[in-house]
Amino acid sequence: MVLGLDVQNQAALLKVVILGLISFVAIASRLFSIIRFESVIHEFDPWFNYRATRYLVSTSFYEFWNWFDERSWYPLGRVVGGTVFPGLMVTSATIYNILHALNFSVDIRNICVLLAPTFSAFTAISAYLLTAEIKDSSAGLLAAAFIGIAPGYISRSVAGSYDNEGIAIFLLMFTFYLWIKGLKEGSAFYGALTALFYFYMVAAWGGYVFIINLIPLHAFVLILMGRFSSRLYVAYSSFYVLGTLMSMQIPFVGFQPTRTSEHMAALGIFGILQIIAFVELVRSHLASNQFQILFKSFIIFSFVAMFSALVLLTFGGYIAPWTGRFYSLWDTGYAKKYIPIIASVSEHQPTAWPSFFFDLQMLIFLFPAGIYLCFRELRDEHVFVILYGITASYFAGVMVRLMLTLTPIVCVTAAVAVSRLLDIYLDVDNLETERSVDRPESDNKDNKDKDNKDNKGKHKKLKEGTSRSSLIQSNQSKIFGIKGFDTRAIVLMNFYFFLVIFVWHCTWVTSNAYSSPSIVLASRRPDGSQFIIDDFREAYYWLRKNTDYNSKVMSWWDYGYQIAGMADRTTLVDNNTWNNTHIATVGKAMASSEEVAYQIMRRHDVDYVLVIFGGLLGYSGDDINKFLWMIRIAEGVYPDEVKEGNFFTSRGEYRVDDEATPTMRNSIMYKMSYHNYNELFGGQGQDRVRSARLPSEKIKLSTLEEAYTTENWIVRIYKVKELDNLGRSLEHAAAFNSGKKRRRTKTSKKKSTKNG
C-alpha cells in the first residue's frame, strides 16, 4: 500500500504520471527551434496557415469560410475557404478564443508555434490508448514514449512547424483507436465518435483518404477471413454514414466522397456489409444447402453488378478517376513525366533507404517483430495493425512525406515487440506464475466481450482461433522458457542499451536536422561561433516597409506564402499550386528574355521580382538550381516558347559559366541572379553553389532595376520599370542613359555637288 492506494490504483496513478512525463518530453523535445532561434513560424506552408489563422481570428468564422483572397494568385485570386483544410486554423482560433475568454492574452503566433508540440502530447496519449487495445497498457506506455520522440514524427511537428500534419497525426491515431474500440465493442456510440474524429481529420488534412481506405480495407479483410459480425456491421455502418455526411460539409471535399475513385472502396464495403447482413438474416430463416447456392450466386452477382456500375460511372464521367497525385503513388515515375509541378517538390520524391533508419532508428528493426507478434494473436485489431503496417510502409517508400503515416504504426508495433520481450525477460517469477498473471487478463477481456454480445455461431471460429493460439503460446513458453538470471540480464541490458541509444539518437536528430526554421539559416564561422543568416526576413521586411501596400511581387511559387505572410504583399503564385498555367506563366517569364518577360510582367501588373541567389554563400536551394523545374513546368504549358533543350549546352550540361547557352544567359532569371555580381569580385564572379566562374561581360538589365539585395545576396529584389515616358523602348532608354547616343536610322547620305 503506497499513498493508501491498492495495487490497481497505484498502477493507474503510475500510468497517469508516466503518460504525463511522456507528454512533457514530447513537448520539450520539440522546443529546440524556439530556444535556438525564436518563436517563429517555419518554412513555407506554415506561413499560409498562420496568415489564414490570423485572418480567422481577426474576422469571423463565416468570413473565413467564404474568404476570397485577392492578395494571392494575382489577378485570379484564390477562393481560400473552398480550397483549404480549415481544421488547423479553426483549432488554433478556438484555443485563442478560449484563452482570451479566460483573459490570457496570448499572441496568436505563439499559439500557432506551440500547437504542433501540444498535439504531439495528445498523439502520445492516443498511441497509448491504441496500443493498450492491441496488447496491454505497458506496451501502450512504450508506444507513447516512442511516438513522443520518434524523429519521423518530430520532423513535422517541431515548434513553429504550424502545418496540418501537426494535428493530423493525432487525429489519425485517435480515429483508429476509436475504430478499434468501436469494432471491439460493436458500439454505435464509438462508431459515431470515430466518424466525428474522422470529420475532424477531413477538416485538417488531405491524408484523411488513408483512413477512408484503410478502415474499409480492414473491414473487407475481416469479411474475407470470415469474421463478419454484427459488431463490425454496427461500427462500420455508423462510422461510414455519419463520417461521409460530415466530411461532405468541408467545402474542399464537397461531393468527392460520392464522386471520386479514392472514396469508392468505402462505399463498396458499405454496400457489401449491407448485403452480408441481409444474407445473414435470410440464412437464419433458410436451410443451409439452399442457402449456400443462394449466397454464392448473390455475392457474385452483386459484386459484378457493383463493379460494372463503378466502371460505367467512371467512364460516364460521374466518378472522377484517380487523381495524378494518387497515380504517382503507384508509379513513382508518373509525376516526373506528366505533372512536373508535383515532382518538383522534394518531399514528393521516393524515400531514400537511409532515411528510414534516420527517422525511426531501431524501431524499424522491431517493426517486423511487432507485425509477427500481431500475426501470432490475430484478433480483429491485430489484422488492422498488420494492414496499416503493410500499406503505410509501401507509401512511405514511395513518397518521403508519407514517412509520417508510417511512424505511428512502427511505434505501436515496436512497442508491442519490446513489451513482449520485456514481459518474458523481465518477469522474475517462474513460468507458472507468469502464465497465471498473463493469461487471465486477456481471457477476461475476451470473455467480457463475448458476454456483452449475444453469442451466436459466427463467433465460434474466433473463439477457437484465440484459444488455439493461446494454447500454442502456453506450450511454447513451457518449452522455451528462460530461467537463467544471467541470460535475462544480458538481453535486458542489451535492450536497455538500445533504448538509451534510441533516445540519444532521437534527440540528436531533432536537434540537428529538424529544428531549423529554414527562414533563418545557421552556420558556423571558422572559429566555431554561430553565424545567423537572416537574409529572407531581411528581404521580406524590406518589402514590407519600403513598397506600396498594393505592390505585386513576382517570385517562384516556393516563396509565395512567405511573401504573403512576412512581407504582406500581393503575390502571383504561391505554394498552393492550384493553377498550373499561372505557375507556368511565371516560369516562362523567368526563362524568357527581357522583352518577353516584360510583356508578361506588365500584363500581370508586376511591380517587384524576387529571386533567391545562393551563389555568394553556397546556399544550394536557390532559384538557379530550381530553374530547370521552372523551365519544365513552363514548357508543359508553352511548348513553343520555352524549350528545356535550349538551356543545356551541346554536351547536355547545365552551365552558368562561359559555356552557358545564349538562351540561358538571356533569361531574366540568370540576369537577375548574376546582375552586378562580377563587380562584387572586381572581375569575374565565382558561383560557390555551382563552382563556376562567371562570364566576364557585364550583365545589362533594361526593363528591371535592382531595388534591394540582402546582406549575403541570398534574396535579390528587382523593380519592374514603367514604360518609357517618351515612348522609347526601355532598352533604348537605358542605353541612352548610359551615354550611348542613338545613331541615325538611315545611313548618312553623302552629298555630292556636281559641277555644272
Partner 1 sequence: MRLFFVYIVALSWQFFVLLFCTIVSAQEASERSFVITDLKLAVTTSDSVRKLTESVVYPSSLDKPIELSQGDNFKIIFTVQDKGTKKGIQPHQSMLILSSNQTGNQIPVIVTVRDGGKARAELDMKSAPEDLLSSPGSYSLNLIIGTFSHNNPIDYHIGTVNIDVPYTSSVPIKYGPKPEIHHIFKPDQKLPSIIISYSFVIIVLSPWLFLIGAWIRLGVNVSFLISEPRSLPAIISFLFTLLAIEILFYNYWTHLNIFQTLSWLSGLSILAFLLGQKALSDVQEWRLKGLR
Partner 2 sequence: MRQILSIVFFVFAAFFFIVESKSTTGSRVLVLLDKEDDKNLYTKFFESLEGRDYILTYKTASDPSIELFSYGERVFDHFINFAQKKDKTDNITPTSLISFVNNGGNILLAISSEITENIRIFARELDIEFDERDTFVIDHFNYNISDDGKHTLLVSNNVVNNEAILSKEVIEGPPVLFRGIGHKAGTVPLLTKIMRANDTAYSYETKDGQVVDQEPLAIGNSIGLISALQARNNARVTFVGSLEFFSDRFFDSPVQKFNSSKSYPRSGNEAFVNDLTKWTLQEKGVLRVTSRSHHKEDEYEQLEVYRIKDNFIYTIGISEYVNDQWQPFNGNDVQLELIMLDPYIRVNLTALPTTKNNHARKYEAHLQLPDVYGVFTLKVNYKRPGYTYIVDTTTITIRHFRHNEYPRYISAAYPYYTGAASMGIGFLLFCFIWIVNKDAGKTAAEKKKTN
- Residue 755 touches which of partner 1, partner 2, none (Cβ within 5-8 Å per kind): partner 2
Long-range contacts at 403-406 (CB < 8 A, ≥ 24 apart): 403/152, 403/155, 403/351, 403/355, 403/356, 403/359, 404/152, 404/153, 404/155, 404/156, 404/165, 404/169, 405/169, 405/172, 405/207, 405/210, 406/152, 406/360
- Residue 81 touches which of partner 2, partner 1, none (Cβ within 5-8 Å per kind): partner 2
CA gap 96, 492 in Å, rounded: 46
First-last CA distance in the chain: 138
CB 406 within 8 A of CB 355: no
If we measure between CA atoms, which residue out of 247, 243, 266 comes closest to residue 255? Answer: 247
Task: Return the SS3 of 38.
Answer: coil
Name which of 79 and 188 has its Cβ closer to partner 2.
79
Binders of partner 2 among residues 513 to 552 (CB under 8 A) are 550
Name which of 96 and 128 has its Cβ closer to partner 1.
96
CB 514 within 8 A of CB 154: yes
Binders of partner 1 among residues 268 to 287 (CB under 8 A) are none
Contact between 549 and partner 1 (CB under 8 A)?
Answer: no
- Residue 61 touches which of partner 1, partner 2, none (Cβ within 5-8 Å per kind): partner 1
The least distance separating partner 2 from the CB of residue 704, rounded to whole angstroms, comes to 19
Binding mask 228-267 for partner 2 (x = CB under 8 A): -----------------------x----------------
C-alpha cell at 583: 505557375
Binders of partner 2 among residues 603 to 662 (CB under 8 A) are 603-605
Name which of 63 and 658 has its Cβ closer to partner 2.
63
Residue environment code for 134-150, b if the CB has 16+ CB neighbours within 10 A, otherwise e: bbbbbbbbbbbbbbbbb
Give the one residue of 74, 170, 514, 629 binding partner 2; rule: CB under 8 A.
74
If we measure between CA atoms, which residue out of 501, 468, 506, 622 comes closest to residue 556? Answer: 622
The least distance separating partner 2 from the CB of residue 634, rounded to whole angstroms, comes to 17
CA angle 378, 381, 387 (to 5 degrees): 80
Name which of 83 and 430 has its Cβ closer to partner 2.
83
Name which of 741 and 754 has its Cβ closer to partner 1.
754
- Tell me the residue type at 413: T
Candidates 69-77, 341-349, 357-365, 629-637: pick the segment binding partner 2 (CB under 8 A): 69-77
The least distance separating partner 1 from the CB of residue 667, rounded to whole angstroms, comes to 26
Candidates 118-126, 186-194, 597-605, 665-673: pick the segment binding partner 2 (CB under 8 A): 597-605
CB 550 within 8 A of CB 558: no
Rg (CA), the chain: 31
Query: Would you tell me how many other CB atoms lie within 10 Å of the CB of residue 718?
Result: 24
The least distance separating partner 1 from the CB of residue 323, rounded to whole angstroms, comes to 24
Contact between 744 and partner 2 (CB under 8 A)?
Answer: yes
CB 261 within 8 A of CB 319: yes
C-alpha cell at 547: 513598397
Backbone conformation region of residue 744, classed left if phi is above 0, alpha if psi is from -120 to 50, else beta:
beta
Binders of partner 1 among residues 43 to 72 (CB under 8 A) are 61-62
- Residue 725 touches which of partner 2, partner 1, none (Cβ within 5-8 Å per kind): partner 2
Binding mask 704-733 for partner 2 (x = CB under 8 A): ------------------xxxxxxx-----
Task: Return the SS3 of 625.
Answer: helix
Name which of 62 and 353 has its Cβ closer to partner 1.
62
- Residue 753 touches which of partner 1, partner 2, none (Cβ within 5-8 Å per kind): partner 2
Give the one residue of 285, 545, 651, 754 binding partner 2; rule: CB under 8 A.
754
Q: Which residues, 6+ apart, have CB-to-CB distance to 524 below 8 Å?
A: 530, 531
Give the one residue of 20, 77, 254, 481 binding partner 2; rule: CB under 8 A.
77
Contact between 480 and partner 1 (CB under 8 A)?
Answer: no
Name which of 449 and 724 has its Cβ closer to partner 2.
724
CA gap 145, 492 in Å, rounded: 18
Contact between 70 and partner 2 (CB under 8 A)?
Answer: yes
Half-sphere exposure of residue 705: CA atoms within 13 angstroms, side-chain side: 8
Dihedral sign (CA 471, 476, 482, 483) = positive
Outline where 430-515 has alpha helix (H): 431-452, 459-480, 485-512
Name which of 61 and 504 has its Cβ closer to partner 1.
61
The least distance separating partner 1 from the CB of residue 136, rounded to whole angstroms, comes to 36
Candidates 28-36, 59-67, 163-171, 490-498: pick the segment binding partner 2 (CB under 8 A): 59-67
Peptide bond into 46 cis (omega under 30): no
Binders of partner 1 among residues 424 to 453 (CB under 8 A) are none
The least distance separating partner 1 from the CB of residue 331, rounded to whole angstroms, comes to 36
- Residue 79 touches which of partner 2, partner 1, none (Cβ within 5-8 Å per kind): partner 2
Name which of 435 and 552 has its Cβ closer to partner 2.
552
Contact between 748 and partner 1 (CB under 8 A)?
Answer: no
Candidates 70-78, 418-426, 467-475, 553-561: pick the segment binding partner 2 (CB under 8 A): 70-78
Half-sphere exposure of residue 640: CA atoms within 13 angstroms, side-chain side: 0
Q: How many residues bind partner 1 (CB under 8 A)?
A: 4
Q: Name the residues that contact partner 2, by CB under 8 A.
A: 62, 65-66, 68, 70, 74-77, 79, 81-82, 251, 550, 603-605, 722-728, 736-737, 741-742, 744-746, 749-756
Q: Name the residues that contact partner 1, by CB under 8 A.
A: 61-62, 754, 756
